[in-house]
Amino acid sequence: MYEEILPQIITTNDTKLLLLVLDGLGGTTNENGVTELEAANTPNMDALARAGSCGLHRPVGYGITPGSGPGHLGLFGYNPIKYQTGRGILEAFGVGMQVNPGDLAVRGNFATLKDDLIVDRRAGRIPTELCRKLVAKLREHIKQIEDVTVDIEAGKDYRFAVVFRGPDLSDKVSDADPQIVGKPPKPAEPLAPEAEKSARIVNKFIQMATEILADEHPANTVLLRGYATLPDIPKYEEKYKLRALGIASYPMYRGLAKLVGMDTPPVGETIDDEIALLREKWNDYDFFFVHIKKSDSYGEDGNFEGKVKIIEEVDAQLPQILDLAPDVIVITGDHATPSVLRAHSWHPVPLLMKGRYTFADDARKFSERECAKGILGHIPAEAIIMLMLADAGRLLKFGA
Amino acid sequence: MYEEILPQIITTNDTKLLLLVLDGLGGTTNENGVTELEAANTPNMDALARAGSCGLHRPVGYGITPGSGPGHLGLFGYNPIKYQTGRGILEAFGVGMQVNPGDLAVRGNFATLKDDLIVDRRAGRIPTELCRKLVAKLREHIKQIEDVTVDIEAGKDYRFAVVFRGPDLSDKVSDADPQIVGKPPKPAEPLAPEAEKSARIVNKFIQMATEILADEHPANTVLLRGYATLPDIPKYEEKYKLRALGIASYPMYRGLAKLVGMDTPPVGETIDDEIALLREKWNDYDFFFVHIKKSDSYGEDGNFEGKVKIIEEVDAQLPQILDLAPDVIVITGDHATPSVLRAHSWHPVPLLMKGRYTFADDARKFSERECAKGILGHIPAEAIIMLMLADAGRLLKFGA
């Protein structure tokens, strides 16, 4: 946002900015006319809402339901339509793989080949445990193809990710996936002249994997699709002059934070683990992204009460975070995941901000309904970081 | 809106979407501090407002007063600045003429020529009845010019519309209208090389009409302006994968609906007639645009009570529409027509939406004032269809 003027107005100081993201925080009203956030008992967030400013944000645009990638890129201040992150990248992030500039990341499925036809695109949904064993077998035999090294990681069930690392790779390759069963395997084809090598490497990988898996059943071949290289995205240090730390238990969110230049050390599973890391690193960074996953997971399960409980747990831990005295804190979600919908949604996401100069508006508690009355209004997700930087004194006056 | 990503996320299902437009619905406060919608007794809309989500929309942009064309194109989900519909097209639509790709539509005035000067650009504002007679006379004598067929329809008072149908027509032609009286007739001139034929045809039409009208008074010549060809606009079926039906008593609105690919069968004058057609066609379409004209007409007449009464009439009929159980219903206007202003205006337009996943917000009734508190916020008109599609489950998740 405002990329053309940001370089003239961005400056630095010793303020600390904290972005606390409850994944899928937003909701819509259930049969009792309330959302999870409205139902939750959140005395600490409510006090912060009364002291600070509230509003609602839209992650990508009106009516658009964001995946995790666009949801976070928006919060990080990037236009999620301009900066799209391919599926292969997110798949690789999700299983904790590094993707570096030039690498080609790909989603893989184990599949079933019979009489030269793909008869099951998910190999009977083999269990994760078997997937790990098969990936270990592939990894042992496929280390390099031409001058390209090959990294493979197991995902859930029949899924895995591959990262090809080497010179001259391109994502302009067609999916090696017939999409429907009963068809023969479909080799990858280059969609541009510069992708000939990539298509050749991908097809060689499939050939080798199929030979290695020949005696397995039902997972005796692989399908590869969702080819992606890293988007060329300006990093936090360069764009915002911020040394940024991303704290997330789930690898996908560490991957997304790393994409924009945040440091992303591993951290344990609990909110306590995340807060412990936050305290430990507080002096070393300017900007802190803290990600809580489970609010989204419960929303996707349709578990209203579970989502309420996670919100309440985070609320209970909030004083520990506030003890660090961030100059600006924002609490929000990357999108809505209403438990009545059991999925990500397009609904506006509640947003709470407290800084040194935030307007104490009329929002009495942290909820969608109160946020609709807040002084921040309805804003694109990209605007949030601008408001944080402004309150922290990190944006100079524009124009004389 | 979001044209670059819409093709990847649009999908279909068997939901029914209904857009009920009260033309010129929005208002501004009168001497008693209320708008027409606020003064109206609308128990059914109020109940829907309490159950659903409210907001305000701006049809074209801040401070911009829309004509009927931009007002409706915005509601239909098209950027009204990008997709402009020339006056000739709207004039032709307004008198119920078809305009097909390649046709050139033009507005005409009867005018008075004396001593080779245009002395009245509206021919003394001749009555509609006389206009019809003169148009019949022109129609009888001007059927074809070169390889171009000519269709003429009378409008109100001194106005008429012409549609030229034939190969190689262009709208890059200067107005054949001196604009001020006391000047000689101004022939049309081509504004681009490809418009030479069109200018020649237009000038021939004017010459023929002036000969035919030689013995008439005061309507003894014609002025032609507002040349327009159809904008190249993506149709509903292609853009939104919606089979759409436009229900409007007035031909201009059927024309606008047809422009975006809606089917637009003729319908009677009353709201009852429109609802009968809606019921009859309910199983054949996915999207229904229902247009109520009279709220605008009373606003333009400065008739506050008349506009209130129309709104109340629509409210009384609303249960009949709700009986059809649309999955998503939106009630709004294409712009404001405050009776205190007696004209279209730039004011934000009240917007009410009820779907399966709409947030039941704090708006207690359907009014500008309550809509300002609604969870939808202030949105561009183009966003409305996106929100409807989202609630209906017709937009897939964007990004992984």
Q: What is the pLDDT of residue B94?
A: 87
Tell me if chain B has a CB within 8 Å of the CB of A373.
yes
| HSE-up (13 A, CA, CB side) for residue A63 | 27
pLDDT digits (tens, 9 = 90+) for B318-347: 999 999 999 999 999 999 999 999 999 999
- Which of A228, A261, A282 terminates a domain? The answer is A228
Tell me if chain A has a CB within 8 Å of the CB of B373.
yes
Q: Which residue is it, tokens 């970081």? A: A385
In which domain, by residue range, is A377 found? 6-84+232-391
Q: What is the pLDDT of residue B392?
A: 98
Tell me if chain B has a CB within 8 Å of the CB of A225.
no
A159 bridge partner residues: A109
Tell which residue, A75, A92, A94, A83, has the closest CA to residue A24.
A75
Q: Over 90: is that where the pLDDT of B369 sits?
A: yes
Q: What is the pLDDT of residue B156?
A: 87
A346 closest CB neighbour out of B374, B382, B390: B390
Q: What is the pLDDT of residue A87?
A: 87
| Ranges assigned E (strand) in chain B | 17-22, 53-58, 104-114, 117-120, 144-145, 148-154, 159-165, 221-228, 244-248, 287-292, 328-332, 349-354, 377-380
Asked whether the bond before A266 is cis by omega within 30 degrees of 0, the reply is: no
Q: What is the pLDDT of residue A156?
A: 87
Q: Over 90: is that where the pLDDT of B234 sits?
A: yes
Q: Over 90: is that where the pLDDT of B400 sits?
A: no
CATH code for the domain of B356: 3.40.720.10
- Which of A182, A200, A228 terminates a domain? The answer is A228
Q: Mention every residue, 6+ apart, whose C-beta is less than 8 A from residue A82.
A: none
A62 closest CB neighbour out of B357, B379, B399: B379
In a domain, B400, yes or no: no
Q: What is the pLDDT of residue A1?
A: 87
A369 closest CB neighbour out of B357, B361, B396: B361
Q: Over 90: is that where the pLDDT of B22 sits?
A: yes
CA-CA distances (angstroms) from residue A182 to A126, A207, B18?
A: 19, 19, 41
| HSE-up (13 A, CA, CB side) for residue A376 | 31
Tell me if chain B has a CB within 8 Å of the CB of A64.
yes
| Percentage of chain B lying above the pLDDT 70 cut | 100
Taking the C-alpha atoms of residue B164 and residue B171, their distance in angstroms, rounded to an integer, is: 11
Cβ contact (<8 Å) for A64 and B374?
Answer: no
Quick check: helix, strand or coil at residue A338?
coil
Q: Are residues B266 and B322 in the same domain?
A: yes
A67 closest CB neighbour out of B2, B387, B397: B397
Instruction: Report the residue of chain A nearest B392, measured CA to CA.
Output: A63
Return the residue in B15, B353, B376, B397 with the most chain A beta carbons within 10 A, the one to mutate for interface testing: B397
Q: Are residues B145 and B242 in the same domain?
A: no
Q: What is the pLDDT of residue B72?
A: 97
Tell which residue, B229, B158, B361, B196, has the closest CA to residue A367.
B361
Tell me if chain B has a CB within 8 Å of the CB of A361.
no
In a domain, A1, yes or no: no
Tell me the residue type at B398: F
Q: What is the pLDDT of residue A253?
A: 94
A63 closest CB neighbour out of B4, B359, B395: B395
pTM: 0.91
Q: Mention every residue, 6+ apart, whose C-beta is less than 8 A from residue B132.
A: B154
Q: Are A345 and B364 in contact (CB under 8 A)?
A: no
Q: Are residues A214 and A173 in the same domain?
A: yes
Surface-to-core class of residue A216, CB atoms within 10 Å of its CB (0-12 exposed, 13-18 middle, 19+ buried): middle
Instruction: Report the residue of chain A nearest B396, measured CA to CA.
Output: A65
Structure tokens at A361: 């508006």
Per-residue pLDDT band at B221 (split at 50, 70, 90): very high
Structure tokens at A99: 């993707």
- Which of B198, B228, B258 terminates a domain? The answer is B228
Per-residue pLDDT band at B280 (split at 50, 70, 90): very high
Q: What is the pLDDT of residue A270?
A: 94
Q: What is the pLDDT of residue B225?
A: 94
Taking the C-alpha atoms of residue B95 and residue B131, their distance in angstroms, rounded to an integer, is: 13
Cβ contact (<8 Å) for A62 and B373?
Answer: no
A-B CB pairs within 8 A amount to 100
Query: What is the average per-residue pLDDT within A133-149?
Result: 97
In a domain, A396, yes or no: no
In a domain, B397, yes or no: no
The overall average pLDDT reported for chain B is: 96
Instruction: Report the residue of chain A nearest B388, measured CA to CA.
Output: A63
Min Cα separation B375/chain A (Å): 5
Query: What is the average per-residue pLDDT within A273-278?
Result: 97
| Percentage of chain B lying above the pLDDT 90 cut | 94
Q: Are residues A346 and A236 in the same domain?
A: yes
Taking the C-alpha atoms of residue A387 and residue B190, their distance in angstroms, rounded to an integer, is: 52
Q: Over 90: is that where the pLDDT of B114 sits?
A: yes
Q: What is the pLDDT of residue A400?
A: 84
Q: How many residues does chain A have?
A: 400
B359 closest CB neighbour out of A62, A68, A368: A368
Query: For residue A141, what is the enclosing H or E element?
Result: helix A128-141
| Ranges assigned E (strand) in A23-128 | 53-58, 104-114, 117-120
Tell me if chain A has a CB within 8 Å of the CB of B50.
no
Q: Which long-range contacts (CB under 8 A, 24 or more apart) does A192-200 make?
A: A194/A168, A194/A170, A195/A170, A195/A171, A197/A146, A197/A168, A197/A169, A197/A170, A198/A104, A198/A164, A198/A169, A198/A170, A198/A171, A198/A172, A198/A173, A198/A227, A199/A173, A199/A174, A200/A146
CATH code for the domain of A172: 3.30.70
Q: Are residues A29 and A106 in the same domain?
A: no
Q: Are residues A202 and A304 in the same domain?
A: no
Q: Over 90: is that where the pLDDT of B166 sits?
A: yes
Cβ contact (<8 Å) for A347 and B361?
Answer: no
Q: Over 90: is that where the pLDDT of A104 sits?
A: yes
Q: Which residues of B touch A67 (CB under 8 A)?
A: 397-400
Surface-to-core class of residue B215, CB atoms within 10 Å of its CB (0-12 exposed, 13-18 middle, 19+ buried): exposed
Q: Over 90: is that where the pLDDT of A257 sits?
A: yes
In a domain, B153, yes or no: yes
In a domain, A400, yes or no: no
Q: Are residues A380 and A244 in the same domain?
A: yes
Q: Over 90: is that where the pLDDT of A94 sits?
A: no
In a domain, B398, yes or no: no
The overall average pLDDT reported for chain A is: 96
Cβ contact (<8 Å) for A66 and B397?
Answer: yes
Q: Are residues B199 and B256 in the same domain?
A: no
Per-residue pLDDT band at B208 (split at 50, 70, 90): very high
Q: What is the pLDDT of residue A308?
A: 98
Q: Are residues A310 and A245 in the same domain?
A: yes
Tell me the residue type at B93: F
Cβ contact (<8 Å) for B357 and A345?
Answer: yes
Instruction: Report the residue of chain A nearest B362, measured CA to CA.
Output: A369
Q: Which residues of B touch A351 (CB under 8 A)?
A: none
Cβ contact (<8 Å) for A56 and B377?
Answer: yes
Q: Are residues B247 and B378 in the same domain?
A: yes
Cβ contact (<8 Å) for B398 and A65?
Answer: yes
Structure tokens at B98: 């078809």
Query: What is the average per-residue pLDDT within B290-304?
Result: 95
Per-residue pLDDT band at B197 (split at 50, 70, 90): very high
Q: Are A141 and A208 in contact (CB under 8 A)?
A: yes
Q: Are residues A291 and A363 in the same domain?
A: yes
Tell me if chain A has a CB within 8 Å of the CB of B393.
no
Taking the C-alpha atoms of residue A351 and residue A363, their distance in angstroms, rounded to an integer, is: 11
pLDDT digits (tens, 9 = 90+) for A282-319: 999 999 999 999 999 999 999 999 999 999 999 999 99
In a domain, A186, yes or no: yes
B375 closest CB neighbour out of A81, A85, A372: A372
Q: Which residues of A touch B389 (CB under 8 A)?
A: 63
Q: Are residues B76 and B177 in the same domain?
A: no
Q: Over 90: is that where the pLDDT of B145 sits?
A: yes
* Total of domains in chain B: 2
